[in-house]
Structure 1
Amino acid sequence: MCVALPGKVIAVRSHDRKAVVDFNGNRVDARTGFVDINPGDYVLVHAGCILQKLTEQDADEMNDIFSEIGSEAGA
């Protein structure tokens, strides 16, 4: 199973079409592709590629669901 994770864009590098995305303190580079993003946007990332923008509410809800799943798996 593949999972796309929500993160917050910290910086955008237009010269190489990549962005720095923060996932709860873990920062990674992700390819922007054709998604028009700006610092502060919430995005859905899979395999190092930004798939789409999200609202902050959607990102928070997804993070809550993943936390709940993680808690149940550890029980």
Structure 2
Amino acid sequence: MCLSFPAKVVDIQDLIVFVDYGNNTIEPVINNMVDDLNPGDYVVISYGMIIQKISKEEYDEMIKYETEMAKVLANNE
């Protein structure tokens, strides 16, 4: 199984891209697949690498889904 997380691009330094996962903690990831990436873009991260560029709407939907899943998991404990 592959886990993927949405993030917002904050800064780009060659193949290293700094992203915010929505918690204002900036982390580095690797970009070796996505062209035309700019600060402010939204991406999907898997295992420390950018796998896809997404729209703001897709990002919002993924965040909503993650929030709903966290609530379900918290209720099952």
Q: Same fold (TM over 0.5)?
A: yes
| Count, aligned residues | 73
Q: Separation in 2 of the partners of 1:34 and 1:68?
A: 30
**TM-score of the aligned structures, taking structure 1 as reference length:** 0.92
Q: Separation in 2 of the partners of 1:34 and 1:46?
A: 12
Q: Give structure 2 stretches of 5+ with no counterpart.
A: none
**TM-score of the aligned structures, taking structure 2 as reference length:** 0.89
* Residues 6-34 of structure 1, C-alpha deviations (whole Å, 9 max, x = no match): 000000001xx110000012221010103
Match of 2:43 in 1: 43
Q: Which runs of 4+ in 1 moved over 4 A?
A: none
Pairwise CA RMSD of aligned residues?
0.9
Instruction: Measure how far apart 1:3 and its partner are.
Output: 1.2
Q: Give structure 1 stretches of 5+ with no counterpart.
A: none
Match of 1:34 in 2: 33
Match of 1:12 in 2: 12
**Percent identity (aligned):** 32
